[in-house]
């Protein structure tokens, strides 16, 4: 999987930081998206990216990107990215 490969390269390079573009134009409801990439899969993507960064102790900066669907849906997707990041990095456990 590309995410695992990217993290392995970051580890091998001893990266100081990961810059993650949390794009939403891939979402199934986006006119340019992939019909199979559901909200649940994007949530799993976010969980994986943030969990790997935390596990490997690599700082991560993420930016909101992409999305050409109706604004309420797009904002909801972007908000979920923040919620998942907060849960991964700041929830007990």
**What pairing do the DSSP bridges indicate for beta strands 60-65 and 18-23?**
parallel
Contact 42, 24 (CB under 8 A): yes
Rounded CA-CA distance 69/58 in Å is: 32
CA 59 from centre of chain: 14
48-61 pLDDT, tens per residue? 999 999 999 999 99
DSSP H or E run through 60: strand 60-65
Question: What's the CA gap between 24 and 13, in Å, rounded?
Answer: 28
Task: Provide the pLDDT for residue 93.
Answer: 58
Please list the ranges in the chain whose pLDDT falls under 70. 92-93
């Amino acid at each position: 999987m590309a995410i695992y490969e990217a993290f392995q390269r970051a580890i091998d390079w001893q990266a100081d930081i990961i810059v993650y573009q949390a794009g939403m134009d891939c979402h199934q409801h986006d006119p340019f998206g992939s019909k199979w990439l559901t909200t649940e899969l994007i949530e799993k993507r976010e969980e994986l990216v943030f969990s790997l960064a935390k596990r490997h102790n690599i700082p991560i900066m993420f930016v909101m990107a992409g999305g050409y669907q109706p604004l309420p849906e797009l904002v909801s997707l972007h908000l979920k990215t923040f919620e998942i990041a907060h849960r991964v990095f700041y929830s007990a456990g």
